[in-house]
Amino acid sequence: MVHARQRSAWNHTAALLALIANTHRDPKTTRPFRPADFHPLPEPRQRPRTIVPLTTLKDVFVDRPGVRRVR
């Protein structure tokens, strides 16, 4: 919860810093600044999602060769 509050506060601060920097920049020589340019916390990485049909999971966990079922 502390990390979320810090991230929220830095999102606000970074947006203000980008606004101020964009008002004082030379549009002919520099590109517009983004809030991410001023944000000190790294962006949380998202794991790629893999969509697998249920038959594959059944093959892996239920119908494994060489494994005896105990009833």
Q: Let me know how long the chain is.
A: 71
Answer whether residue 24 shows pLDDT above 80. Answer: yes
| Sequence ranges of the domains in the chain | 2-44
- Chain segment 34-53, per-residue pLDDT in tens: 999 999 988 777 888 888 78
Quote the distance between the C-alpha of residue 24 and its chain's center.
30
- pTM, 2 dp: 0.59
∠ CA 7-8-12 to the nearest 5 degrees? 115
pLDDT for 68: 65
